[in-house]
Amino acid sequence: MESLNDFLIQKPRPLPVIVAVDRSGSMYSNGKIDALNIALKDFINSLKDEDSNKAEVHIALFSFGGDTATCDIPFASINEVALPTYQANGRTPMGASFSSIKTLIEDKVQIPSRSYKPTIVLLTDGIPTDDYESPMNDLINEGRSSKAFRIAMAIGDDADHNMLSKFVSTPEYLVTGESARDIRKFFRFVTMSVTQRMKSQTPDMLQVPPMPDDDTLDF
Amino acid sequence: MEQIISYIQATIPGDKPDNIPNQDYIKIFENDTIFICTVSDGLGSSRLSKDGAALACECVVDILKKENSETGFNALSDKITKKWEHLVEQNNGLIKDYRTTNSFISVFKSEKIILAGQLGDVMISLRIDGLFRHFETIEKEFSNETDCLGSGNIERYKIEKYEFGHSFDFLIATDGISDEIDPMKLEAFQNYLKNKFQDVTVEFRNSELKSEIETIMQDKNNDDKSLVYSWTNKK
């Protein structure tokens, strides 16, 4: 016998999380790339553990390094992703990542309009080596992508803090770190932000969780 | 051949703190010449959007029952938006506190004309003389992102006019429901509603619809959920 349920989309609304990470040569120093690989793994596992029938995290992972940016995890449910292990090398073609993220968010087949607003997560320890200004401006000011929440981490003094302060949605979403240890802390902050949205009565309102204390980290 | 217009309606609050009311509103009006059905979804981010939603429905009914089917679309839209703003100002309110979406269907019985209007993301789905006419819902970017009355932008209803011959049925639903309906099953959903509820005694139709929405949809999202479905039968 038919019921209302037969006409509904059976999956929760997607909550998109789009991550772009730096795998340039400088990420090799002080164990940053290793910390990033571990932090990403923890991040994905933490989100997999979150269960909600109102929102399902979907993730895409981009990276920039060598001579180009790549899409390493095409947009998919958090439960379907397999993480790469990054090696650090080459330059910092961050602008190419911005273009790829923009293309993804504008695509209503991949990210339908019933989705909650995406969160874009950016982590870098350097200055973009390609033309990033136009792609970044398009990403943050134009069209559908301008609605996304944008969180960033600047690792060390060589990161372009000025550029990142323009990138983020709100000053509280720019996290600065000094060491590899801070990368894991940052991804815990992102996890808390995403899970707060999943549990919130208003998932599309800005959520700024407190930064996790160092002593809550388990090394 | 004359038609009898039947309808069912239900609205339930979303899963939210007790002090936040249901910000959806439904109003239906019928006399010998016109049948008007209008649904508003007050924006959760606006403090008095429950009142804004109700005012929008009142405006739509007040204006449409005095109009004829030849009224220009832009003129009609302007009348509704201006009257709504005027009523908000009469309440000494700030427009931004009353923001709401609104959609309507107005059936001019003797002319056999349907006017459908939409400002924001309250879905309209129409079937006229057996032909499914999905009213092209204004594209929204993401869930809970929508145009609205009181947005501060130039607000204009998208209005379409249709003629009908022997029958019509239509669905109006706020995004708490419409975002969950599989677009490929929309026509089948209208068939389901008609087949099920035309066989239910009139006095029990709305309570049965409400119960079904509460049971099956309450956990799908936190939004308020409202639905009106209307259909014709030969007299």
> Which tens digits make up the pLDDT trace of A46-93?
999 887 878 999 999 999 999 999 999 999 999 999 999 999 999 999
Chain B residue with CA closest to A8: the answer is B181
B140 close contact with A: CB closer than 8 A: yes
Position A206 scores a pLDDT of 67
Reported confidence tier of residue A35, pLDDT bands at 50, 70, 90: very high
Least confident of A42-56, A188-202, B14-28: A188-202
Q: Which residues of A touch B141 (CB under 8 A)?
A: 113, 144, 147
Q: Which residues of B touch A120 (CB under 8 A)?
A: none
* Domain boundaries, position A46: 32-203
Position B138 scores a pLDDT of 61
| Three-state SS letters, chain B | CCEEEEEEEEEECCCCCCCCCCCEEEEEEECCCEEEEEEEEECCCCCCHHHHHHHHHHHHHHHHCCCCCCCCHHHHHHHHHHHHHHHHHHCCCCHHHHCEEEEEEEEECCCCEEEEEEECCCEEEEEECCEEECCCCCCCCCCCCCCCECCCCCCCCEEEEEECCCCEEEEEECHHHHCCECHHHHHHHHHHHHHHHCCCCHHHHHHHHHHHHHHHHCCCCCCCEEEEEEEEEEC
Mean pLDDT of B159-187: 94
Nearest Cβ partner of A7 from B16, B143, B188? B188
Contact call for A147 and B140, based on CB within 8 A: no
pLDDT greater than 70 at residue B136? no
Reported confidence tier of residue A205, pLDDT bands at 50, 70, 90: low
Reported confidence tier of residue B37, pLDDT bands at 50, 70, 90: very high
pLDDT greater than 80 at residue A210? no
Position A217 scores a pLDDT of 39
Counting the structural domains of chain A, the total is 1
In a domain, A54, yes or no: yes
In a domain, A215, yes or no: no
Position B209 scores a pLDDT of 97
Position B145 scores a pLDDT of 80
Position A219 scores a pLDDT of 30
- What is the C-alpha separation between A183 and B203, in angstroms, rounded? 61
pLDDT greater than 60 at residue A24? yes
Q: Which residues of B touch A203 (CB under 8 A)?
A: 143-144, 222
Mean pLDDT of B24-47: 95
- What is the C-alpha separation between B3 and B128, in angstroms, rounded? 13
Average pLDDT of every residue of chain B = 92
Contact call for A147 and B142, based on CB within 8 A: yes
Position A118 scores a pLDDT of 95
Reported confidence tier of residue A218, pLDDT bands at 50, 70, 90: very low
Least confident of A14-23, A195-204, B10-19: A195-204
Mean pLDDT of B173-200: 94
> What pTM does this model have?
0.87
> Which tens digits make up the pLDDT trace of A147-197?
999 999 999 889 999 999 999 999 999 999 988 889 999 999 999 988 888
Domains defined for chain B, CATH in brackets = 3-234 (3.60.40.10)
B112 close contact with A: CB closer than 8 A: no
Percent of chain A exceeding pLDDT 70 equals: 92
Position A213 scores a pLDDT of 63
Mutate which of B141, B174, B184, B222 to test chain A, going by most A C-beta atoms within 10 A?
A: B141
A218 close contact with B: CB closer than 8 A: no
Position A162 scores a pLDDT of 95
Mutate which of A3, A5, A7, A54 to test chain B, going by most B C-beta atoms within 10 A?
A: A7
Average pLDDT of every residue of chain A = 90
In a domain, A190, yes or no: yes
Interface ipTM:
0.92
Position B133 scores a pLDDT of 82
If one compares A71 and B135, the residue with the highest pLDDT of the two is A71
A53 close contact with B: CB closer than 8 A: yes
In a domain, A186, yes or no: yes
pLDDT greater than 50 at residue A216? no
Q: Which residues of B touch A8 (CB under 8 A)?
A: 180-182, 216-217, 220
A4 close contact with B: CB closer than 8 A: yes
Mean pLDDT of A139-146: 96
CATH number, domain with residue A137:
3.40.50.410
Q: Which amino acid, B145? A: E
Q: Which residues of B touch A2 (CB under 8 A)?
A: 192, 196
Position B17 scores a pLDDT of 76
Mean pLDDT of B154-168: 93
Reported confidence tier of residue B8, pLDDT bands at 50, 70, 90: very high
In a domain, A15, yes or no: no
Mean pLDDT of B41-58: 93
Interface A–B counts its CB contacts (< 8 A) at: 79
